[in-house]
Amino acid sequence: MIKIIYSETAHDAGIRGAEVISEVLASKKNAVLGLATGSSPVGMYTELIRRYNAGEISFAEVKSVNLDEYVGLSADHDQSYAYFMHHNLFDHVDIKEENTNLPNGLAADPVAECARYDAVVASMGGVDIQVLGIGNNGHIGFNEPDTHFTKGTGLVNLTDSTIDANARFFEKREDVPTQALSMGVGQIMEADKILLLAMGRGKAEILERALFGDVTPSVPASILQFFKGEVIVSADKEALSVILEKHPEAVTR
């Protein structure tokens, strides 16, 4: 079941997202969180930090697994996803460093690193909630449009459109890594619940295609239509503009 929650602003959509995570933490203090990077979840992390500071939630017993990491960037590179997670969440809450997990983008043997990460994810005994953003081309994690859906963690060649989209975070386009390690679509689909965050007009077309179009590996996020549990989509009005036009009845205000 897909529940699409409307927010007027990206700020509000982030707060809605934090509410969903907080509910999971309230029912299970040792929850396993599947975490995502990108600009979409930043506001949600800010609200989670606020709730932590207000004493409303704790991450003391939480474990986390992140979706992906760039190949070739060290954890202290300011564009690595490890750095992002520390800067945007981990350093500001009581999560234990040893309970946080990301693929290692500097691993000498990326294939072995994928196997190690699959084992880490499996050892969690199930992800309670998986946070996702959506790429301009419909990617989830770094699972790019393809002829098949990926299963486990893999080494991915980034598409030109993803490199273009992410170039804004780097000094120059040539600095954007061309490969990443990413959890697979099959692995993402094993979570108990999914929270998809989408912000801004640039996501409006792809979000509609993903949630209402054909289920196809050429739009990896479309597989969410087959998710066994609840997919909660928290999005701002710009990201929802095409859905509001074509499927207004599907949107919860």
Judged by CB under 6 A, how many residues of this single chain contact ligand GLP? 14
Query: Is 118 considered catalytic here?
Result: no
- The SS3 assignment for 109 reads coil
Task: For residue 103, state whether it binds ligand GLP (rule: CB under 6 A).
Answer: no
User: Which residues in 66-85 contact ligand GLP (CB under 6 A)?
Assistant: 67-68
Query: Is 175 considered catalytic here?
Result: no
Helices assigned H by DSSP within the chain: 10-27, 42-53, 81-88, 110-123, 160-166, 185-188, 204-212, 241-246
Q: Which is nearer to ligand GLP, 36 or 232 (CB)?
A: 36
Give the CA count within 13 Å in the CB-facing half-sphere of 188.
33
**Active-site pick, 99, 113, 139, 208:** 139
Query: Is 68 considered catalytic here?
Result: yes
d(CA 184, CA 188): 6
- Binding ligand GLP (rule: CB under 6 A), the pick from 99, 100, 159, 166 is 166
Stretch that binds ligand GLP, among 11-19, 22-30, 31-39, 233-241 (CB under 6 A): 31-39
Query: Is 192 considered catalytic here?
Result: no
Rg of the chain taking only CA atoms, in angstroms: 17
Task: For residue 142, state whether it binds ligand GLP (rule: CB under 6 A).
Answer: yes
As annotated, the active-site residues are: 68, 137, 139, 144
Binding site for ligand GLP (CB under 6 A): 36-40, 67-68, 133-135, 141-142, 162, 166
